[in-house]
Homo-oligomer: A and B are copies of this chain.
Amino acid sequence: MKTTRNTAAKTAVLEIFGKSKTALSHTEIQKQIGDLCDRVTIYRILDRLVNDDIVHKIVNLDGTVKYAKCHHHAQRVHIHNHAHFSCENCLEITCLENVKPSYILPHNYKVNDINFTLSGLCPNCLNSNN
């Protein structure tokens, strides 16, 4: 079985996730990393972290891809069925951990994964009425 190593670059990426309250794109991470590692390395680190269920991948309505730390605690079957909120003004994406959609599906569909993204204005941008 494959072991995963703790490298300087991976540690740096995890630290960046730790400090951020919102989801981050590859580009945003790269800006913070600077030249500590190659941009390809960041892609590969993100792949690994997603694979190890340490972060999850979020695809926004506009097609932008972001990543956020997982906050679940060792669930056996792991579906990221919580909602994500994408602010049209500040462009930040936040996980709404406790918002779970309920729905009724037609027969004969087997669901393995769910993406539920809401977009609009976040509390911050709603208050500063612009």
B-binding residues in A (CB < 8 A): 59-63, 65, 83, 85, 88, 96, 98-123, 126-127
Contact = CB atoms under 8 A, between A and B. Distances in A.
Given A115-B116, A117-B115, A85 B109 contact: yes
Given A98-B106, A103-B116, A109-B120, 4 more contacts: A61-B115, A108-B122, A109-B122, A110-B126
A57 to B, nearest CB: 8
Given A96-B106, A99-B104, A120 B113 contact: yes
5 contacts: A61-B113, A83-B103, A96-B105, A98-B106, A111-B119
A112 B88 contact: yes
